[in-house]
Chains A and B, each alone.
Chain A
């Protein structure tokens, strides 16, 4: 069955001066699916996510439910799309609850205050990500995984149906990596959220993403289901690393073992030199 796309990225080009960061990137994501963006450092993953989120100017267009996100005002866009990325640590001690409540902002006019319903939705979001007991703690005092969960709770309060996450499991230990991605999977399945996420770990991508896109030097090299797209050749070509790929007997997902050839590892990969 072909699912109707909810998010449509059309021919996105982005350059800084003469340097091309993204060239003709196009892909679709159906509603309720997780799209994983893979690729080496400097491939353009963050730039692509910023383009989708409306944080950079670019050529091309991004449609959400047939409506161009570029033509929406920042506030209208924030009602449709929530972004979770590495944030600055606030200089003043905002509490976890106050950070989550920021998600209400796109739905509020200058004069409105938080209603009882708003407080309830903040509390529900905190429950959902398991941070209720830390609601009065300073956001900056939370662990990396807790901060990510707090920002996901903020996205829930924002009531956006499209979530964009830039490397949400970087710097997290194995337990939190699976906890965060498991949470996103549940959100996609139970609440129909469409999720675009950038990842470095091929095994996590294979386990949690419905579709992956592999970026190299600003172009999509592969797009499709992880089990068909993640191949020995692709990994060799994009990451310059040897690999062994097998299918897990436990969950039927593919598992990748990497064998990097680091002889003379002071030299860089070909694309690093080019970039």
Chain B
């Protein structure tokens, strides 16, 4: 077991460093090594390395970690092995927000509005973020007001809200401006091309805080696995714990989805692999997810950037395509 952990940590350090050597711009191995250990050889390579490639690799790692720990947490708190960050309407909410934004951007009155140019790039993510938070609140209120607040009801409400918002999104895309529609569709398929240094630091802060919170709550999350009543008799305030975990997961997913779009399957797949390799208790699970989720996403992004020359494949396509095969192989009975 110790060996497995050491291997995972070594890979988690090596994978991002290794992936820095891949990218659209032609930086030589020597350029990159020099950038990493000393000062970059030219202003251009410094800018490419530190402003584009480094944040992108770091964000890739953090996005993988964030999606994996939210998936793990949701599977534990809902006691449902198919739970996934996308189940609570977070992605469809974000998609809906992004579609509204795209319609607005194509509207001439809106384009003529006096919006400072530096705010414009943030508008789509802001709309998406608002959409995803509203979706989670909607799921929560439907589940507690009209369905009785049981966790199964929350899952049902999540699925219903997801479908409802997806339908609205598709309708908006259908009636929308073709150029804006294309943009939204590409965004929905997931991409790390939008990221920058400021987002990297923001995401780093959020992922670190959420990971610490979830690791501290680990033993309480384990107690939930034997049922709500069992956890309650062990002194766990089940309702409070579940609400806190849902907020943490919604925050993690919404921040990721707002900037990087729909990156599917990571939140479902990574926790199952970690449980299989490192055990099911929550503290191990969270640590394993942070590391393995990060490693996986960094290399998926390398494929997204390097598989087709001069073109970028949406990352969501690759996570789902590679993920499903990798998942089936990893879950094979040995």
Taking beta carbons and an 8 Å cutoff, which residues of A are in contact with B? 53-55, 73-79, 81-83, 85, 87-88, 90-94, 98-99, 102-103, 105-106, 108, 110-111, 158
Contacts and interface: CB of A to CB of B under 8 A. Distances in A.
A77 B237 CA distance: 12
Interface string B72-85: 00011001110000
Nearest to A77: B235
A105 B235 contact: yes
B230 interface: yes
Contact of A55 (B79, B216, B229): B229
B281 A88 contact: no
Contact of B234 (A85, A88, A91, A106): A106
Given A74-B236, A91-B80, A102 B226 contact: yes
Nearest to A107: B235
16 contacts: A54-B233, A74-B237, A78-B233, A78-B235, A79-B235, A81-B233, A85-B230, A88-B226, A90-B226, A91-B75, A91-B81, A93-B280, A94-B222, A98-B222, A105-B223, A108-B219
A191 B68 CA distance: 45
B148 interface: no
B280 A92 contact: yes
Contacts of B81: 91-92
Most buried by A among B76, B217, B229: B229
Contact of A87 (B75, B226, B275): B226
Nearest to A90: B225
A93 B279 CA distance: 8
Contacts of B220: 105
B64 to A, nearest CB: 21
Interface residues of B, number: 25
Contacts of A99: 226
Nearest to A93: B280
A55 B239 CA distance: 13
Contacts of A79: 235
Contacts of A87: 226-227, 230
Nearest to A82: B233
A148 B132 CA distance: 43
B226 A83 contact: no
Contacts of A73: 235
Interface string B204-246: 0000000000001101101101110110111111000000000
A55 B236 contact: no
A79 B220 CA distance: 15
Given A92-B75, A105-B236, 15 more contacts: A54-B233, A74-B237, A76-B235, A78-B233, A83-B233, A90-B226, A91-B79, A92-B81, A92-B280, A94-B225, A98-B222, A98-B280, A98-B281, A102-B234, A108-B219
A235 B14 CA distance: 74
Interface string B274-298: 0100001100000000000000000
Shortest beta-carbon contacts, A-B, top 8: A78-B235, A75-B235, A83-B233, A106-B235, A88-B227, A92-B280, A90-B225, A110-B216
B229 A111 contact: no
A111 B215 CA distance: 9
A77 B81 CA distance: 31
B235 A102 contact: no
Given A91-B225, A92-B225, A105-B223, A53 B233 contact: yes
Nearest to A50: B229
